[in-house]
A and B are shown apart, each in its own frame.
Chain A
Amino acid sequence: MAASDHTLGLSAHQAGLAPCEYCGALHRSLHTTACRKCGAAVEGRKRFSLQRTWAFWLMGLVAYVPANLLPIMITSTLGSTSEDTIMSGVIALAQSGSWFVAAVIFIASICIPVTKFVFIAGLALSLHFQWDMSEHTRHLLHKITELIGRWSMIDVFVVAILAALIQLGAILSVEPGLGINAFALSVVFTMLSATSLDARMFWDTSSDGS
């Protein structure tokens, strides 16, 4: 719709107003207050946004190391056991010809987490060092990061289902490995990291409405 005829030409923050995250009511204070309409905590900008983002990011990264090194699934067949890590599972699937499944797991468990680590770090660094990156690019990167984050949980659910389903005693049984624990942790932490990053900060240095 026609844009500029209904804007004020400045952000709420510049006008000294803080919007309620839920009901949208504007408050004439940038400090934390309780929303007069719905009672939610209102902050002009999320407090400690970058600190929280980095803290969760680091936790996610730390958890991602054992997630890749430790086995996520232990399969026992007639006395012999084999352990699979995320990557060895993908390779085994690809070798057995299940290209599609291998691709889905590769994307969900490796591409998405790595993309998220890179994007979040890039966005946070761009704020620290005032990089010359367009607000629209940063806005898009942040939206992508928030959107793809949850999909990494696929592998956790796959392991849980296989472990529950494949319980045929000595013939064939599957147990979850410690790696999947670390992987789930990593996903949760990176999701928290992405939501801690206040996207409105990307726009604080710009002034035009284009």
Chain B
Amino acid sequence: MVACRHCDWLHYKLIIETGSVARCARCNSVLYTRKPFSIDRTLAASLAGFVLLVLSLSLPFLSLTRSGLNSEISVLDAISALWLSDMRWLGILALAFIVLLPLARLLILILVLWRLRFRLGIRLWMCRAMRWAERIEPWAMAEIFMIGVVISLVKISSLATLDVGPAFWSLLGLIFTTTLTSVVYCRDTIWQLLTTRLA
């Protein structure tokens, strides 16, 4: 049996075809899914996301030129600007939302899915780690940061000349892989693997 996550309505668990979705009879939310090659695909998307995130953090992001003066920033500079203007904890919050939480989530996904994919054995800490990965998800805000970047670009364009650096494009790619991860991620498949082999 399975209870709907959103309204708690009880259903018998049916075996559904690969690629189809079971919906709650009462609130119509997704009840369970069976996505094809979920582990392989999520692992691939997470690995790509990790590479892009590391690139986004290490490369220059935006540069601004006005009257011969130039300033170039990376993502980390935007965060340290908050820190330096005595907004310490807001800086930490932004660091967590843009850097630490997305990084932690990707690392957990890679580690757990790698072990599942190559059958390296299931440990209890993997369940704990996956719970954290799911908890973190709404707090990882790279895509919101990107919208913020676009708004800033429009705002400053009248004041100075702006150029986007390579980190801008890798962050754009990161948003794509993050979306891809959530599309191919099948929590039912993964939790079933994690819990049945453990028992």
Task: Report yes or no: B81 in contact with A203, Cβ–Cβ below 8 A.
Answer: no
Instruction: Give the distance in Å from the alpha carbon of A93 to the alpha carbon of B159 in the complex.
Output: 13
CA distance A62 to B127 in the complex (A): 37
What is the CA–CA distance of A40 and B2 in the complex, to the nearest angstrom? 17
A38 (CB) vs chain B CBs: closest residue: B127
- Say yes or no: is B73 at the interface (Cβ < 8 Å to chain A): yes
Taking a contact as CB atoms under 8 Å apart, the answer to whether A184 and B124 are in contact is: no
Verify A158–B155 contact, CB threshold 8 A: yes
Given contacts A6-B12, A153-B97, A171-B66, 17 further A-B contacts (CB under 8 A): A3-B25, A7-B26, A12-B10, A23-B195, A25-B195, A26-B1, A38-B191, A154-B147, A158-B151, A163-B78, A163-B85, A166-B156, A167-B81, A168-B64, A168-B67, A175-B85, A202-B7
Instruction: Give min CB distance, B195 to chain A, whole Å.
Output: 4
Q: Is the CB of A4 within 8 A of B25?
A: yes
A-B contacts at CB below 8 angstroms, number: 210
Contacts of A17 in B (CB 8 A): 1, 3, 10
Instruction: Check B94 for interface membership: any CB of A closer than 8 A.
Output: yes
Question: Which of A53-61, A63-71, A96-104, A119-127 participates in binding chain B?
Answer: A96-104
For window 9-43 of A, CB contacts with B under 8 Å fall at: 10-13, 15, 17, 19, 21-26, 37-40
A11 CA to B195 CA in the complex, in Å? 24
Q: How large is the interface on A (under 10, 10 to 19, 20 to 34, 35 or more residues)?
A: 35 or more
Q: Please, which residues of chain A bring their CB within 8 A of the CB of B136?
A: none
Contact of A22 among B77, B82, B134, B151 (CB under 8 A): B134
Smallest CB–CB gap between A184 and chain B, Å? 6
Q: Which residue of A lies closest to B64 (CB)?
A: A165
- Evaluate contact between A139 and B7: CB separation under 8 angstroms: yes
Known: A157-B145, A171-B66. A37 touches B27 (CB 8 A): no
Complex contact B151–A105 (CB within 8 A): yes
Q: How far is the CB of A131 from chain B (nearest CB, A)?
A: 17
CA–CA, A13 to B64, complex, Å? Answer: 58
- Interface 0/1 of B104-136, CB less than 8 Å to A: 000000000000000000001001101100100
Q: Which residues of A contact B154 (CB under 8 A)?
A: 98, 100-101
The verdict on A144 contacting chain B, using a C-beta distance below 8 Å, is: no
CB-nearest residue of chain A to B145: A157
Instruction: Flag whether B33 is at the interface (Cβ < 8 A).
Output: no
Can you sample 27 A-B contacts with CB below 8 Å?
A: A11-B9, A22-B127, A23-B127, A23-B191, A23-B194, A26-B1, A26-B3, A38-B131, A38-B195, A40-B127, A98-B155, A100-B154, A101-B154, A105-B151, A135-B7, A136-B27, A154-B144, A156-B90, A157-B98, A161-B148, A162-B152, A168-B64, A168-B69, A176-B82, A191-B138, A199-B6, A209-B9
Q: Considering the chains assembled together, what is the distance between the CA atoms of A168 and B32 in angstroms? A: 54
Q: Which residues of A contact B71 (CB under 8 A)?
A: 165-168
Report yes or no: A101 in contact with B11, Cβ–Cβ below 8 A. Answer: no
Q: Does B149 contact A (CB under 8 A)?
A: yes
Chain B residues with CB under 8 A of A191: 138-139
Q: Choose from B12, B94, B128, B156 the contact partner of A156 (Cβ within 8 Å).
A: B94
B64 engages A24 (CB within 8 Å): no
B87 at the interface (CB under 8 A from A): yes
Taking each of A168, A184, A199, A204, which has the highest tally of chain B beta carbons within 10 Å of its own beta carbon?
A168
The smallest beta-carbon distance between B62 and chain A, in angstroms, is: 6
Task: Give bound CA distance, A135 to B195, whole Å.
Answer: 33
